[in-house]
Structure 1
Amino acid sequence: MQHIRRWFACLLTLTVLSVPAPVQSLYLADGYGQHRAYVGLKLFRTLVTSDLGLHERIAQDQTLVFYLIHVNSDEDAQLYRQVLADSFEQLQNAKTRVEVVTLEELLALPGKQIAGAFITQPLNDDELKALVAKSIAEPFVLFSPFEGDVEQGVLGGLSVQATVRPYINLRTLKRSGLNIKSFYMKVAIQYE
């Protein structure tokens, strides 16, 4: 177990040193949790670009809007906003915009206006159920870097084992009707 911890610490250090300085503060602020969130942002981008129905959520102004969700503190969401905005720039010939919103605000939006949503703060069971239900009824990619959320119905997350891999809830995928590219599904760990 000690060997695994040392190996993970070395991997985390190398990862931190390989990213730009402004992003390094994301790792150092909260350690493992922040690291999961940063890796999650990369996997979120890959999952969103694997959504074959993404073009259906391009607004009339030719913009795809992505949301970072929080409940009562937008501190982490604001840190992640620029990282996500820089990684998206432009998708499917559409401009992109990243907005920070409360869970309440997101639940009030029409699903067709949501290109994807990323959870930045742990949600309680009722909050998570409401968000999962919306992402299924008005299909959009919902991603969480928090352990246990995929098992609770969130479409995408990450699995940290010997390697970090995407984690997909197959039941949510089927119920939402979202169509994800096969290459993403091949590399993802699938939860049924």
Structure 2
Amino acid sequence: MWIVNKACCHNWLQLIVLTLLLSICSPVLALDARDSRLLLVGGEFFPRIVQAIAPNEKATYQLIVLYSTQNNKQLAKPIAKNLSAQLNLPYTLVSGLEPYQLIFDASQLHLIFITDPALINSALIEIINQPSTLSFSPFIGSVPLGLDVGLVVKATIRPQLNRNQITNKNWAFRPFFNTIADQYPPQEQP
């Protein structure tokens, strides 16, 4: 009897330790995303996010689509054309492997869509982390992780929108990210 109880207690202890470790990891990843102003969402939701914010009458948008390899560029072209048509904005395709090419005009609001999450590194983040940019990338990892990151990004996206003089129509983050989660099958974190 004692052995069963001891084993049961040991399993509970393992579960508690695992829960603590997972709760520590998630905020760290979320903090990284918050600091880099990246909103990790599926590409099909990018226009919905942009359409949820109304630009200042004096401001103009520039859509920049980043790609990595030549194969990724072939995939990025139809994405860029589709986003451009939905948002009624011209687009620029730029290699994310050479982030120094990105030069931002402070008089415009830059919407950056990163087609390959593997491009996200410290050099790129340093360049795109500007007051006049909003950057988006597909989900990295599992949907629950994407939800955690997205909800934490809320804290910096909202003030950033205000700084850029973009008015908030209906920025309902939790329902928005729950809607995204409904579109994706459950998956394990890599």
Q: TM-score, normalised by structure 1?
A: 0.51
Displacement of 1:99 in angstroms is 1.7
Letter of the 2:150 counterpart: Y
Partner of residue 160 from structure 1, selected from 120, 133, 143: 143
Partner of 1:126: 122
Task: Indicate the residue corresponding to 1:16 in structure 2.
Answer: none
Please name the residue that 1:48 is paired with.
Answer: 50
- Indicate if the aligned counterparts of 2:104 and 2:110 stay in contact, CA closer than 8 A: no
Higher-helix-fraction structure:
2
The DSSP-based 3-state class of the residue aligned with 2:107 is: helix
Give the drift of 1:81: 1.7
Structure 2: how far apart are the matches of 1:106 and 1:172?
26
Is residue 112 of structure 1 aligned with residue 96 of structure 2? no
Q: Does 1:172 align with 2:126?
A: no
In the TM superposition, what is the alpha-carbon distance from 1:86 to its structure 2 partner? Answer: 2.6
Deviates more, 1:177-186 or 1:67-76: 177-186
Q: Secondary structure at the match of 2:54?
A: coil
Inter-partner Cα distance in structure 2 for 1:184 and 1:110 = 29
Residues 111 and 140 in structure 1, CA contact (< 8 A), matched pair in contact too: no
Assess, with a 3 A threshold, how the Cα gap between structure 1 residues 41 and 57 changes in structure 2: closer, same or farther: farther
Which secondary structure does the structure 2 equivalent of 1:167 belong to? Answer: helix
How far apart are residue 56 of structure 1 and its match? 4.2
Secondary structure of 1:65 counterpart = strand
Partners of 2:139 and 2:106 in 1: how far apart? 23
Kindly tell me: are residues 132 and 82 of structure 1, through their superposed partners in 2, closer, same or farther at Cα, counting changes over 3 Å? closer
Question: Which of these two proteins has the greater Rg computed from alpha carbons?
Answer: 2
Larger RCO (CA within 8 A; separation ≥ 6): 2
CA 1:47/1:79 → structure 2, altered by over 3 Å: closer, same or farther?
same
Structure 1: state its 5+ residue gaps.
1-36, 59-63, 90-95, 149-158
Letter in 1 for 2:81: Q
Q: CA deviation at 1:65?
A: 2.6
1:131 Cα deviation (Å)?
4.3
Contiguous gaps of at least 5 residues in structure 2: 1-39, 179-190
Equivalent of 1:68 in 62, 65, 68 = 65
User: Which residue in the other structure is 2:59 paired with?
Assistant: 57
1:141 aligns with 2:134: yes
Aligned length: 127
Alpha-carbon separation, structure 2, partners of 1:117 and 1:79: 16
- Determine the structure 1 residue equivalent to 2:91: 98
TM-score for the superposition, normalised by structure 2: 0.51
